[in-house]
Structure formats: C-alpha cells, structure tokens
Amino acid sequence: MNELWGWALLMGQKAGRILTGERFVATVLWVFAFVVLAELVTGRRWKRYLTRTFLTDLTYFFFFTAGVYYFLFSRPVERLAHWLVTTHLQSFVINPFAGLPVVLQALAFIMLIDFCEWCMHRLGHANKWYWKFHCIHHTPETLTPLSKFRIHWADMLIFGTFKAVPILLLGHMNVVWMPYLPLGILQVFSHFDVDVHYGPVLGRLLVSPRYHRVHHSADPAQRNTNFGIIFSCWDYIFGTANPDLTRPKQLGLLEPRVPDSFALQFFYPFILVGRGLGLGGPRPQAENEVRPAA
C-alpha cells in the first residue's frame, strides 16, 4: 500500500510540474489567445464552443499537451527508437544539413518531418486497417480549432514512430531552433472552418482553412484529397490536391458511425478492427463508401 501511495504521489508531482511548466502554460495561453482573436476577425461563431464536439476536442487537446500521451505511449517508443539507432544503426547516422545555416537546417528538418507525415496521412486513408484508427480524426461534423488534436493515440504513435527513426538517422536537432509554436498555430488555424485561402502562390505551399476543410468532407471523393499537414506543396507535386475548394455539403463521417466521446473513441478503433475480422457480428459497410440515399 505504501508503495502504491508513493507511486501515486510521484505521478501527482510530475503532473503538477507539467501543468505548471512553461511549455504547457505557454501553449494553452497562445492557442487560447489565437482562437479568440481569429474568431473576432473571422465570424464570432462562439456557439460551436458550447457543443459536445468541442468538449471532445478539448479533451484531446489536454491529453496531448498535458503530457498524458507522452507519458503513456510516446516516451517508451521514443526511448526504444533512440536505443535502436544508437546501438545498432549508428554507422548509418548522417547529417546532410550540417553545413547549412541554422535557420535552413530547421527548415530542412521541418520539410522532412512534414513529408513523412504526408506519406503516413495518405496511407491512413489508403489502408483499410490503418483507416480504422485514422478515421477518428474525421469524426467531427462541425470543425473547431481544436479538432487538430482529435487524433487517436495509436494513430499518433504510428505517425511518431515512422518519422522518429529517419530523423534520428539524419542527426538530432537538439541545438537547432525549431519553431514549435508557430507551426502548431498554423495547424490549429487550418481546422478553423473559415473561408480563408492563401492565394494562388502561397496556397500551393501552405495548408489553409479552406484547403483543409475539403479534406474533412463526408464524401470520400473529397476526403481522399488534400493530405497536407503544414505544406500543401506535396499534394500538388504528387497529384492529390483538390482543385475545388468550395465548402463540402457535409463534414464528418457517414460510415463508420463513431461515438463523439474521448473515452469511447479511446478503444473504438479496436472494435472496428474486430468487426473487420468478422468478430462481433456482420461486417459493416466499408468505411470509404458513401451511404446510399434512402
């Protein structure tokens, strides 16, 4: 009992340090200030912050930013990847960006990370098993700025593991400036559901709200386009950019029907996997198919 109490006390102390830490507090304050400012400028649609959808999005936000995901899932995998590279793959470690100025090194790594995420994002739509996890991000029928954080922990873990090893092999960025907060703000803004685009030139480089909103369409023909996370250029290079950026008639998912609850979504993809394997009843309609009209 004393050991259990000691462990609980230790976890409480760690949680307290995270919740009062500079990075967490700064992230919450900057995101909050940005959301308020953007709403004042673009439309003042405050009612969406009183919905169940926003409550779920907010829970995901704290799950990731408060370090719960890192403590439960990301840290063990990160340590394993670091051990794998340093003990077995050290001879393959290179640093092709070492001769560049610091800002260009950071830009090169950001582009590399974003391209890795673009590849995994596209795979999350193409592979029927991976889709059962990634579909959680597409469940909101009303986008809120914090919908950016609605990602299933297993989906995030796959993303993180895929990009961690090649980044470690290319050299770590411990001492190189990384604009963590501005990049996060860009992703928050891309989920704002406002009719804002960056124009014919910059819009082909950066993901705008109008561009990403198409990706959250309930119609798979639209949803399976515009995979860019930060940079939209990958879609234009590889032919997955949608030229029609008008607002979709409906957002969210027609199939599968997923409960709008963080706790239920925590396990729900595994239920979908079981159904896909023929367990627990008849196989549901394919997730990438649109439900026929009555």
In the chain, how many domains are there? 1
What Å distances lie between residue 196 and 32, 38, 109, 191, CA to CA? Answer: 20, 11, 27, 11
Q: At 280, is the pLDDT very low, low, confident or very high (cuts 50, 70, 90)?
A: low
**Cα–Cα distance for residue pair 265/25, rounded to 1 Å:** 26
Q: At 56, is the pLDDT very low, low, confident or very high (cuts 50, 70, 90)?
A: very high
Whether 124 is covered by a domain: the verdict is yes
Task: List, as one string, the DSSP characters of 169-218.
Answer: HT---TTS---HHHHHHHHHHHTS------HHHHTTTB--HHHHHHHTBS
Whether 31 is covered by a domain: the verdict is no
Q: What is the per-residue pLDDT for 7? A: 52
Whether residue 289 is predicted with pLDDT greater than 60 in this model: the reply is no
Domain range for 97 is 48-276
Q: What is the per-residue pLDDT for 200? A: 93
> Region 141-151: what's the mean pLDDT?
95
pLDDT tens for each residue of 25-34? 888 888 999 9
Range scoring the smallest mean pLDDT among 57-71, 155-169, 250-264: 155-169
pLDDT tens for each residue of 216-245? 999 999 999 999 999 999 999 999 999 999
Whether 20 is covered by a domain: the verdict is no
Whether 180 is covered by a domain: the verdict is yes
**Cα–Cα distance for residue pair 261/63, rounded to 1 Å:** 13
Whether 239 is covered by a domain: the verdict is yes
Q: What is the per-residue pLDDT for 258? A: 92
Q: What is the per-residue pLDDT for 12? A: 58
- Residues with Cβ within 8 Å of residue 131, at least 6 apart in sequence: 124, 125, 287, 288
Whether 151 is covered by a domain: the verdict is yes
Q: What is the per-residue pLDDT for 23? A: 73
> Region 182-197: what's the mean pLDDT?
90
Whether 271 is covered by a domain: the verdict is yes
Whether 24 is covered by a domain: the verdict is no
**Cα–Cα distance for residue pair 210/224, rounded to 1 Å:** 15
Angle at 260 between CA 123 and CA 40, to 5 degrees: 90
